[in-house]
Structure formats: C-alpha cells, structure tokens
A and B are shown apart, each in its own frame.
Chain A
Amino acid sequence: MPQKTINGTTIDVNEEGFMTDHSQWNREVAAGLAAEEGITLAGEHWKVLEFIAADYGEKGVVPGMRRMNKVGGIATKDLYTLFPDGPIKKAAKIAGFPKPASCV
C-alpha cells in the first residue's frame, strides 16, 4: 500500500491517491491534497468538505451530486467552480474518503 507525507503527516493512499485510513486525515492534510489538485481551500470549500464528512458519518457513502444539492444545499454550478473537473471525486479525495462508487 503506497504512503505519502503531506504537510508533515504520513498517510496511506490507494493507487489513485484516495486515503485508505480516514483517521490520518486532518485539515493540513486536506490543504495539501487540495494543493495537489491546484485548489486553495477557502470557506466555501470547507462547507462542502464538512457536509461530505457529516453525510459519510451518517450514511457510510460519499454523497452524490443530487444529495449535495438537496440535502447539503450546495448548487452543482458552485461545486464545479470550487472543485473543477469531477467535483465529487475531487472533494471526496480532499475530504479523505474513498472514491465514490459508481452506481448499479
């Protein structure tokens, strides 16, 4: 299992760079992972990341776009502005959760 060190913390990741142990996650790690994607985290980003964390805690899966809209109150357009090209995947990665599973 690959490991990498981000802003002083060593984290386990899978081949695609998604964290495999959420307990290693902290805000500095998030900032580092975001920087790798060319994103500087601001308040709006954190709102998204916090919703993902809360929803993951409740449901055990990364919320999809529609859930972000309806339950999280975050518009799709904003998600694309905050996390360009594949917002859900990117936000999940930065939030330290698994890559959202494709549906059935």
Chain B
Amino acid sequence: MLMKKNLLILGAGTAGTMMANHLRKKMDLNQWSIKIVDQDPKHYYQPGFLFMPFGLYSDEDVVRPKRRLVGGRVEYIEAAVDRVDPDADRVLLQDGSVLDYDILIVATGTRPNPEETEGMTGSGWRKDVFEFYTYEGARALREQMAKWKGGKLVVHICEMPIKCPVAPLEFTFLADWWLGERGLRHVTEITYVTPLSGAFTKPTAAKILGHLLDEKKIHVVNDFNIARVDNEKKAIVSWDDREVPYDMLVTVPVNMGDPMVERSGFGDELNYVPTDKNTLQSKVKENIFVIGDATDAPTSKAGSVAHFEAEVLTENILRHIKGEPLKPDFDGHANCFIESGHGKGFLLDFNYDLEPVPGAFPVPGVGPFSLLGESQINHLGKLAFKWIYWHVLLKALPIPFIDHRMSYRGKKIPKELMKAKV
C-alpha cells in the first residue's frame, strides 16, 4: 500500500478551519492525509465578542465545537503545539508526540497579552480594568457594564498591530449608544486613547471616523504609548508621563502571535511568521505556508482577510504539490464592517495599495452597502456576518459578488491616491 503524504494545519480557528474545508474538497485524499491540530476544543466567533458586553449577543451565539466545523475526512487532533522543527519537517506536540509533515500550514493566530504591560493584570484586573478580545474578557466586561452608574470610561489600545483594528472604535460607538439608551451617557465621560496619531490607521478613514468621534462628544487622546497601568491612582500612564484617569478601563492588550512561533525560532518581535505577502509561502522554508493573523503581512488581521487569503493559498498549495510556480495573487484585500451605534454602520474595503475610500459595494454604483458612509444596511451587513461566518466562510464556500481581489470599481478614489494600480 502506498504511504500517504501529510498536510498538517496548526490551529483550527477561522483560517485553519477554512483551509481544512477547502483542501479536503480539492486535494487527492487517496494520496494525501489532512490533519489539523488545536489545543482548545471551542471555536469562538471573535467578532461577536464586541457585542457581548452590551448584551447584544449571548454566550451561545459565539461558541461552537471546533471538531464539527472541520468537515469530514480531516483528522482532528486536540493537542497543544510545542514547536515546529523545519529542518526535520516535523511538529512536536506538548504531550511529547511528533507529527511529520510534507506540507505545513501555520494558522495559530494572534492573541491579547495583558501581562506585556506593567500593572495591567494587577489589582484592578477584571475589576476596573477590562478587555473584550477574549471570551472570558467579554463576559466579565458584560457583568461590569450592567453595574455601571457613570464616571470616566476609557477605551484604549496598547500597541499596533491588533486584530480587527476597528474593533476598539466600534466598542466606543456602541458604548455611546448603549449608555444613551440607559440614560447614563450624560454622566459618562468617554475617552478614546490610541498610540496612533489619528482615529484609524488609514488617513481617509481616519478623517471620517475622527469626525464621528467628535460628533458623539468622545474625547480623543492620540500618540499615547502606554508605559503602565497605575492601579492605585486608576490611571494609565504614557512613556512621556501623560496620565489618563479612568473609572473603567477597556483596553486592547498587546496582540502577539502564539509563543509556539517563538519556540520554533522563526517569529519576529511579535511572534509573527515572516511570510511572502502575495503568495503566503513562509520565508522559513518552501513547504511551510502561513495564513490569517499568524502572518506578518502588512494588511489588517481580520476574518475577512483570512477568507480572501484562503482562496489564494488553496490554489498555491495545489500548485506547490504539482511543482508549479506559486501565484502572487493575494493583494491584501480586507473588508470590514464598522458598527457606529444606533443601528448604523460603515463598511471599509481596502488592500495593500489602496486605503479605504468612499463608494458602493459590492456592485459598483449600486451597493447595497456604502463604503465609508454611515448607513443602516451596513449595520445589518455586520449582523448578517455572524450567519455568513458559521455557514459560508468556515465551510469555505464562496461569497457571491465578492472576489479575493479587491475591486477598484465602485470606489471614489481621491486623486492623490491614484498611485494605486487602478
């Protein structure tokens, strides 16, 4: 009998699950066996963490068993990865066992590391210092929000990059709306504190979103690089000795790739894997590929990005097997709905070359979604995303009208941005 070759996927989150579901349909499973490893049996719909603190989504809305989301004919292994040994083409698990591979896909994501910031996990942790980037964090914050009587609410980002870079802004907009509904907005001072010089990473969007913060009477503190959390004073302190006092701090801790990447010896300073940003092949070795939040590709870390990447990576894995040249087809395409509160939302669509600009999406001139414009349909789009996530994205089914290549049609592109290849 012929020995099968092994394709091994590390991480059964958004990206790993999509890859398993693409490849099991496309690869010759008489010749290849597909294995996927993850340490945590639960799959979380992370975009839902944003809605949990406001009681908009329940715990059940955001959790499913991982194993079931990975379709048939894929071997699911529940284990923690210790490290990759690229020279020997094998992966060591923390229980001491070894998995050999012919092709490896790293999809171990990124996660918040509050202990990276002095004082953050001190006496105030989950009492008046919160985060909503984990399931436990979002639940703890929900309990605290329910008890809120007013005071200083500070929404804060420690360091870029973070996954879903718009989430803290969305949290701020939703808090503004939610507090209003409860008659607590006038007794709550909301401050948005960011290490960036504007409201967002991309200039055109930063202008529009910054204006919205203004309109909603949200104070903004820019260029704030946090040195520590002072639990006694209840203030965050920057390296240049500025202080922002809080009654409740909702922070986004430093996001870092899994320590497994560091142990494997190929991560950058944030444990991201050096990756060709167009082919998604790692720069570590030609049989190692990377997808999702684990890459160092200069685009947003988002589920939508992983979806677009998965289409390109599937094609490239098949090419790699056939010994054909890889296609440099991933253009950094990201597509993000932004909740702005009061049942409205924005939509951003961008790639490596073009920052988010106004327009209509996905059908040029028609929409129904408006790019960089606030509308109710955008908000509905965000809510529909949950259904699409569980039923379309993870199953690796295509989304109608939306290609992995960003479309320049339907976008109102300011002249100075025309450097982009339109």
Contact = CB atoms under 8 A, between A and B. Distances in A.
Interface in A20-72: 64-67, 69-71
A5 interface: no
Nearest to B256: A66
Interface residues of B, number: 20
Interface in B250-284: 268-270
Nearest to A68: B269
B270 A76 contact: no
A85 B240 contact: yes
A80 B227 CA distance: 11
A104 B227 contact: no
A102 B239 contact: no
B410 interface: no
Nearest to B206: A102
B300 A80 contact: no
Given A66-B159, A102-B201, A103-B161, A80 B298 contact: no
A99 to B, nearest CB: 10
Contact of B270 (A66, A79, A86, A104): A66
Contacts of A102: 160, 196-198, 201
Nearest to A80: B239
Given A66-B269, A86-B223, A104 B240 contact: no
B378 interface: no
B165 interface: yes
Contacts of A65: 159, 225
B375 interface: no
Contacts of A70: 269
B299 interface: yes
Interface in A70-86: 70-71, 76-77, 79-80, 84-86
A76 to B, nearest CB: 6
Nearest to A79: B239
Contacts of B159: 65-66
A71 B299 CA distance: 23
A104 to B, nearest CB: 5
A103 B158 CA distance: 13
A103 B299 CA distance: 8
A76 B270 CA distance: 16
Interface in B162-203: 165, 196-198, 201-202
A77 B225 CA distance: 11
A85 B239 CA distance: 9
Contacts of A67: 268-269
19 contacts: A65-B159, A66-B269, A70-B269, A71-B269, A76-B239, A79-B239, A80-B239, A80-B240, A84-B240, A85-B240, A102-B196, A102-B197, A102-B198, A103-B161, A103-B298, A104-B201, A104-B202, A104-B298, A104-B300
